[in-house]
Structure 1
Amino acid sequence: MKTLQRIEAFFQNHGFAVQSLGDLHSEPVFDLHLDSRGVNAGDAFIAIQGGQKHGLAFLSQVLDKKPGLVLSDRPLNEEERSIWEQSGCESVFFWSSDLKAILPLLADWFYDAPSRHLKVVGITGTNGKTSTAFYTAQLLEHLGNRVALIGTLGNGYWKNLSPTLNTTPDVISVQRLLADFLRQGYEWVVMEVSSHALSLGRVDGVHFQTVALTQITRDHLDFHGSVEAYRNAKKSLFTEFASNVQIVNLQDETGRELCDSMALSDLYSYRLEEGGHSGSSKELLCNHLRLHPEGLQLSLSFSEKHADLSVSLLGRFNAENLLCALSILLANGFSWHELLNGAHKLKAVDGRMQTLCRQPIVVLDFAHTADALRSVLQAIRDHLSASESQLWVLFGCGGNRDRGKRPLMAQIAEQLANKVVVTSDNPRDEDPEAIIGEICQGFSQSEMVTVIQDRRQAIEWTLQQAADHDLVLLAGKGHETYQEIAGIKYPFSDAQIAGEFCRVGLTENRQSAEDTIELVLKG
């Protein structure tokens, strides 16, 4: 916590003038919040322009909570000043036109620079961030460390995460989380760093012990505008942030560019098979990878050490994620032998190549980009052992997102699966039927494609149709427990629906599923 006087002095010491309304005093300000809903008595509310509204639009609700300070990037207008005066609250109002620029410094200072007292690992990339973060956390804990996570599936202890709205929270929340983790005795924090976070300054002010790259493919072009801008955002974690150790993927073009362009003495790399060993003592190489129904078997080399490793993870891409996680620990001086012993016990992340049931085998995955869908389908096909087995894929595309990937995902599904079911994902503010129409533009063989807009009906019908020796991939939603339609999030879980259907039994469900699909297709 900091007093109002110290907060004013902070601005002055950094050359930013603030204008105030109300009397300065030595009362403490307990916390900082960009979200008005999180403000408690004595906290500071930071009011800046959001995606749709300025924070001062919520001034009346905030003042009811008796904050110690309201800090804004502009002065109060006439209506807001009237609200302030009528509230009778004793809060202080600061404003500075430079507020947004100084927020990272303010948050770091207010919470006593927590990232400099923790070992923060930042992982970026298009796909694989979540799995790599979880594998890293599991390995660190196996070796006796207390580890917290910040990422897509939530924040906190990796086995008991608190839900979050964004992969990487806002710049204030990141520093608050780090400070909380430090108080709770955590030593390591493993953070997924999204391209949005890097572009919007959400991790500005964080000092990273280690930064790592999984890989970069097409994604979020609705936000970044071009593949080049997206790649540059990801690369900035290595070029614009302080870090002690850097880890890149030499299978990835951007990883190779970083390796060639950055004269970093602590740059580590990893590579999955292709190209052989570079000869560097800081490269982790998988000399051979075998995929089988039970998982993966890897032959590894690092700094003249060699070992064979078996893990119960599915997918070639998970081999890359595993190599990234192992590289993070090796780069931080952990024992090769103890690390490999821990790797044997790694578990898949919920919603990431997660096996739900068998006969048929049902796999749940968050794949929601063309490249991710390609990777998952290739990975599953590589694990199939029976030649007569068919690969089914059920997927949709989210609304208000990159429309260009919709026909691309259809093309990939058609190329790699035997049967395709197109359904709704999270349509958000778009018409689900229109989204499906854009997906279907990518198909050339309509006979292998079934369209069922209702996702529950689509899942149940697919499981009813699949043979016992087939494999069904439910793609796109993964760990999500909701479906967002017209701005409302409804409870919905692919895992729960598939689990219920399989527990009741395919035979018992057969007639109801057939009746339902007949009505859907005819309608």
Structure 2
Amino acid sequence: MKLSVLTEGNPYIPPEWDREINDIRIDSRDVLPGDLFIARRGSRGDGREHIDAALANGAAAVLAEGPLGFECGGAGVPLFFCSDLPQQLNSWLLRRYPLADSLALIAVTGTNGKSSVTQYIAQLATLLQQSAGLIGTLGNGIWPELQPTRNTTPDLSVILQSLTVMQQQQVSTVAMEVSSHGIDQQRIAGLSFTTAVMTNLTQDHLDYHGDMEGYFDAKARLFRDYPLQQALINVDDDYGRRLLQDNRVQAVRYSYGQADDADVCYQTPEYRDGWLTTLLSTPWGSGELRLPLIGDFNVANAVAAIAVLCLQGLDFTALIGAASRLQAVDGRMELYQREVNGRRQLAVVDFAHTADALHNVMHAVRNVAASRALVFGCGGDRDRGKRPHMAAAALASGAQVWLTDDNPRSEDPQQIFNDVLQAPGSEVFHCCHSRREAIIQACDSDAGLIVVAGKGHENYQEIGAVKHDFSDAEVLMLLGFSKAGGQHA
């Protein structure tokens, strides 16, 4: 596409400085020869500081935020300055990457469950011989071939480029994690969603949103401000019910059986013989749902995925059958096992990093083993207010608790410990800054099951400004654990 066609005269591109451009890049690290680099001011930096890096990577042109003007950059690359660049950018992106109406784009938001619901949607669709795409925390691409991403909800330029590639490869359904940051920062502006899902809302990201009202308002905008064909809302969640009070939101309601007005209902699951089992009732049919997973909330996630695909027209009976082949998301209730002195010991690796998520994980494993141990920490440079709440959730679990470092980032690890240990009763915690040693100590205890929470699938630990190689799962495997049953369960 010609640069002049992209901007449509705002800013004006003289013919002698017009250029053919390939992709539009917001991050100079992603620039390839022939790309257009957008140098805008951000919340944490200024893209104009990276123009030289973009030029070195082969940018064919640069559109930068600033007073209207022009410069000739290195190697004769044109640099155009535009004062209303933030207002123009989304229209440029949508002009460069037009989306076909045939692409069903499904948005999943909420504090917990986004990754699981989106991956279960992609897995189930694929099991039913329909190619499915995914955009989220664990990567972007056509399931199961995912490319790493830097954000839960990437920049709109990355989203549109990914969707364009998927369209070209005949993908019909794409499940996308939508974070509150992504909504607030306009990363999904201009997109149209077939279905939006609200899983739940609990305390998180208050360092960004200020309070729960600000957090809820950001999530609610997905349902109020974007064109939707359907919404699917968890009515067991108080904030989900608040969404329904807005008459602009028409939704299918799902519940684990406590809500009389739910359209999709399932009974309290039972864990037996390695299966999570429940009875599921929907407008499309009813039947027994058997999942090779652990954790009651995984039933809610699978039910949401089934309901979404039923709304897309897929067969209920076929989906129920396919659900027996689901695999847990990496770092989400991943189950490991080993034999120690003639007894079976289990371990679970989970991403839980909020009080509610920690409570849910420990509640989910309460009947799996009589004695349990928990290893957890709190991330640095993040919401300090949730730290005592996480300690309270750990105490309520009835497990032996090891408090350790998560990703301290630039914060003093001992200060993080001090915040956690404000919770009454937390003096019983074993405190160990070395995460590796904390996991080893918990596994050496008499616990029949060890939960390692907080980092999940991450293969690093961020200390200061350095990311060190580290994986909870690798530590367990070095201790003789292996994935239970050879599957993500």
User: So what's the TM-score if we normalise by structure 1?
Assistant: 0.87
Pairing of 1:18-417 with structure 2 (within 5 A):
18=11, 23-25=16-18, 27-75=19-67, 84=72, 87=74, 89-114=75-100, 116-263=101-248, 267-276=251-260, 278=261, 283-292=263-272, 294-303=274-283, 305-358=285-338, 359-384=344-369, 389-417=370-398
Q: Give distance in 2, aligned partners of 1:264 and 1:445.
A: 43
Structure 2 residue matching 1:167: 3-state secondary structure: coil
Aligned to 1:459: 439
Query: Which SS does the other structure have where 2:135 is aligned?
Result: strand
Per-residue CA deviation, residues 84-105 of structure 1 (Å, 9 max, x unaligned), is 55x2x22222222221122222
Partner letter of residue 331 of structure 2?
G
Q: Distance in 2 between matches of 1:296 and 1:321?
A: 13
Q: Call closer, same or farther: CA 1:503–1:250 in 2, change over 3 Å.
A: closer
Q: Is the 8 A contact 2:116 2:301 kept in 1?
A: yes
4+ long deviations beyond 4 Å:
19-22
Q: Is the 8 A contact 1:66 1:91 kept in 2?
A: no
Residue from 404, 408, 432 that aligns with 1:427: 408
1:314–1:383 CA contact under 8 A, matched in 2: no
On the 8 A contact 1:68/1:91 being kept in 2, the answer is yes
Code of the residue aligned with 2:20 in structure 1: it is P
CA contact (8 A) 1:20 1:93 kept: no
Deviations 1:41-80 (A, max 9, x none): 2211000012333111122222233422210121489xx9
Question: What is the deviation of 1:194?
Answer: 0.6
Listed one character per residue, the Cα deviations across residues 104-157 of structure 1 (whole Å, up to 9, x for unaligned) are 22111111235x341111100000001111111111112221011111111113
SS in 2 for 1:381: coil
Letter in 1 for 2:255: R
SS at the partner of 1:497? helix
Instruction: Specify whether residues 417 and 23 from structure 1 end up closer, same or farther in structure 2 by C-alpha distance, changes over 3 A only.
Output: farther
Q: Check 1:151–1:425 CA distance in 2 against 1; reply closer, same or farther (3 A cut).
A: same
Q: Secondary structure at the match of 1:397?
A: coil
Change in 2 beyond 3 A, CA 1:156/1:8: closer
Native 8 Å contact 2:4 2:12 kept in 1: no
- Cα 1:98–1:465 change in 2 (3 A) is same
Moved more, 100-109 or 167-176: 100-109
After superposition, the Cα gap between the structure-2 partners of 1:167 and 1:298, relative to the gap in structure 1 and judged at 3 Å, is same
SS in 2 for 1:23: helix
What does 1:479-518 align with in structure 2 at a 5 Å threshold? 479-502=457-480
TM-superposed deviation, 1:20: 5.7
Residues of 1 paired with 2:411 and 2:99: CA distance? 42
- C-alpha separation in 2, matches of 1:46 and 1:273: 50
Q: Which stretch of structure 1 is more off in the superposition, 324-333 or 418-427? A: 324-333
Contact 2:3 2:13 in 1 (8 A): no
Structure 1 residue 473, shift from structure 2 partner: 0.2
Give, in whole Å, the separation in 2 of the partners of 1:471 and 1:366.
17
- What is the distance in 2 between the residues matched to 1:474 and 1:489? 19
1:477 and 2:455 aligned: yes
Aligned-partner Cα distance in 2 for 1:18–1:452 = 57
TM-score, normalising length from structure 2?
Answer: 0.93
SS in 2 for 1:300: strand
Deviates more, 1:396-405 or 1:39-48: 39-48
CA distance in 2, matches of 1:343, 1:238: 28
Alpha-carbon deviation of 1:191? 0.5
> For each residue in 1:310-355, what CA deviation from the matched residue of structure 2 results, as whole angstroms up to 9, or x when unmatched?
1121112112111211110111222121111111211111110110
3-state DSSP of counterpart to 2:197:
strand
Deviations 1:259-292 (CA, angstroms, capped at 9, x unpaired): 2323556x2121112133x2x7xx1111443234
Question: Secondary structure of 2:63's match?
Answer: strand
Give the conservation status (yes or no) of the 8 Å contact 1:286–1:301: yes
How well do the aligned residues superpose, as a CA RMSD in angstroms? 2.0
- Do the aligned residues in 1 keep the contact of 2:409 with 2:463 (CA within 8 Å)? yes
Instruction: Point out the more displaced range, 314-323 or 251-260.
Output: 251-260
**C-alpha distance in 2, partners of 1:337/1:34?**
44
SS at match of 2:468: strand
Letter in 2 for 1:271: S
Contact 2:277 2:291 in 1 (8 A): yes
Separation in structure 2 between the aligned mates of residue 188 and residue 58 of structure 1, nearest angstrom: 35
Residues of 1 paired with 2:111 and 2:294: CA distance?
A: 19
Q: For residue 96 of structure 1, what is the amino acid of its counterpart?
A: C
Q: In structure 2, do the counterparts of structure 1 residues 117 and 250 end up closer, same or farther at CA, with 3 Å as the change threshold?
A: same
Structure 1 letter corresponding to 2:42: G
Question: Partner of 1:41: helix, strand, or coil?
Answer: coil
Aligned-residue sequence identity (percent) comes to 35
CA distance in 2, matches of 1:249, 1:341: 23
Give the Å deviation of 1:443: 4.1
The whole-number CA distance in structure 2 between the counterparts of 1:56 and 1:20 is 19
Higher helix share: 1
Instruction: Give the unaligned 5+ runs of structure 1.
Output: 505-523
Report the residue type matching 1:422 in the other structure.
L
CA distance in 1, matches of 2:106, 2:48: 35
**Deviation at residue 451 of structure 1 after TM alignment:** 0.5
**Deviation of residue 28 (structure 1)?**
1.6
Structure 2: runs of 5+ lacking an equivalent: 339-343, 483-489
Output the amino acid matched with 1:230. Answer: Y
The structure-2 alpha-carbon separation of the partners of 1:76 and 1:38, relative to structure 1 and needing over 3 Å to count, comes to: farther
CA distance in 1 between partners of 2:24 and 2:259 (Å): 50
Q: CA deviation at 1:31?
A: 0.9
CA offsets, 1:164-187, max 9 Å, x none?
111111111111111111122222
